[in-house]
Amino acid sequence: MSKKIISEVLLEVAEAIETGNFGKKIKVGLTTLGSEHGSENLIKGAQLAKNDLFEIVLIGKGHEDFQSYETESEDEAHKIMENLLDSGEISSCVTMHYNFPIGVSTVGRVVTPAKGKEMFIATTTGTSATDRVEAMVRNTIYGIATAKSVGIKKPTVGIINIEGARQTEKILLDLKNNGYDFEFTESQRADGGAVMRGNDLLMGTPDVMVTDSLTGNLFMKIFSSYHTGGDYEAQGYGYGPGIGEDYDRKVLILSRASGSPVVAKALQYGYEIALGNVSEKARVEYKAAQKAGLDKIFAELKNKKQDSKSSEEVKMPEKEIVTASIAGVDILDLEDAVKALWKQGVYAESGMGCTGPIILVNTEKEELATNILKDSSLIS
């Protein structure tokens, strides 16, 4: 054994005694090309994140403080990154503008402004599914898995009040009732419920805020740069790791506008999800959801959409005065809800209340209409 090898072993033992970490040190990669603020901004982020818990490996423009794989091409940097991930040389990698396959999307992590609470945004880039509601259900699973991988044992879930929220809530309730173990949170607004208002977004009411990826991307940009004017993202942990049902590459995304503080936090995030093995956490969550009927629910969702396209014309009943409102119908289901009531001889109209879509019926028929909508699985 050479003197160099002996010195390296002794150094590793000394570091292990000092840090208490006797396992193989995790390496987190960082590609250093493509930032709107230059490679120096990314390298500065690596210097801010440098610590004794994990090693940082630079890919692209290198630096003497770090192990580096140098190239001037972003495409080549991604190839090097993928090879290092697949070989196990690095455990995760932070990069920009990376194309994930359909079924994989990223879970962002922000710090809310009022109380400094951390919150996961599920999801922020990529596409979990081509159907909006299916994607948001999958995003929920991705968010729960990611939160658990960084040490939150029982992450709470809220769904932001956008198109598809009520359908997503119903499917998640079905999964929960069938044995999938997770916890909804309650809105801090007076009307409560698992569907979150904008206030809850700012307060960080849930641990995991479920949304579609385009809306999530917008949230990330606002949370990270609301006090800098938008051209420099200074807060939070970036757009997060790409998570899928059976996806192993731990690739975390940054915006090209991300500043060095976000780069540093993203590297820390990369270490935490590698240490917590987020890929395995996602597989466990998926199996639990599938055991609770996830695949069957998705099949029924697709069949319902096909049936609605070929549904027969329904004659509108005689008009009545409608003053009673029924909430809880998703905006994507409004037309189907009205037709379901018409079919049973109950006159109804659709509308929009302050908390979202509503169905308007005659006061005397409110209970009947509510039961019809429940039986039709249009409200919970």
- For residues 60 and 164, membership in a common domain is answered with no
Q: Are residues 183 and 331 in the same domain?
A: no
Active-site pick, 1, 114, 190, 354: 354
Q: Is residue 306 situated within a structural domain? A: no
Pairwise CA distance, residues 167 & 299, whole Å = 14
252 within domain boundaries:
no
Which pLDDT does position 1 carry in this prediction? 46
The pair of three-digit structure tokens given for residue 25, joined into one six-digit string = 């040190």
270 CB-side CA count, 13 A? 34
Peptide bond into 123 cis (omega under 30): yes
Residue 74 domain boundaries: 3-96
Establish if 380 belongs to a structural domain: no
Question: What CATH number is given to the structural domain containing 348?
Answer: 3.30.70
Give strand ranges (E) for 50-140: 54-60, 67-70, 92-96, 104-111, 118-127
Q: Are residues 29 and 134 in the same domain?
A: no
* Within a domain: 249: no
Helix/strand/coil for 257: coil
**Is residue 33 left, alpha or beta, with left meaning phi > 0 and alpha meaning psi from -120 to 50?**
beta
**117 and 164 co-located in one domain:** yes
**Positions of the chain with pLDDT under 70:** 1-23, 305-312, 352-356
Number of domains in the chain: 3
- Told to judge if 93 belongs to the known catalytic residues of this protein, a careful annotator would answer no
pLDDT at 315: 87
Same domain, 220 and 291: yes
Q: Are residues 195 and 128 in the same domain?
A: yes
Whether 190 and 140 share a structural domain: yes
Q: How far is CA 266 from CA 56, 146, 279, in A?
A: 12, 14, 17
For position 185, which CATH number holds? 3.40.718.10
| pLDDT, position 37 | 96
Per-residue pLDDT of 193-208, as tens digits, reads: 999 999 999 999 999 9
The pLDDT, as a whole number, for residue 16 is 54
- Give the pLDDT of residue 314: 84
86-109 tens-digit pLDDT: 999 999 999 998 889 889 999 999
Place of tokens 């990611």: 146
Question: Residue 36 in contact with residue 257, Cβ under 8 Å?
Answer: yes
Structure confidence at residue 19 (pLDDT): 47
238 and 127 together in one domain: yes
Q: Is residue 119 part of a domain?
A: yes
Among 96, 114, 137, the domain boundary falls at: 96
Q: Residue 333 has what pLDDT?
A: 80
Domain annotation covers residue 127 = yes
d(CA 300, CA 216): 26
260-307 pLDDT, tens digit per residue, is 999 999 999 999 999 999 999 999 999 999 999 999 999 988 887 666
Task: Please give the torsion angle defined by the CA atoms of residues 142, 115, 36 and 64, in that order, rounded to the nearest 10 degrees.
Answer: -90
Residue 190 lies in a domain: yes
* pTM, rounded to two decimals: 0.82
Give the separation between CA 248 and CA 311, rounded to whole angstroms: 42
**Are residues 110 and 165 part of one domain?**
yes
The answer to whether residue 355 sits within a structural domain is yes
Residues 228 and 135 in one domain: yes
Quote the CA–CA distance of 112 and 104 in Å, as a whole number. Answer: 25
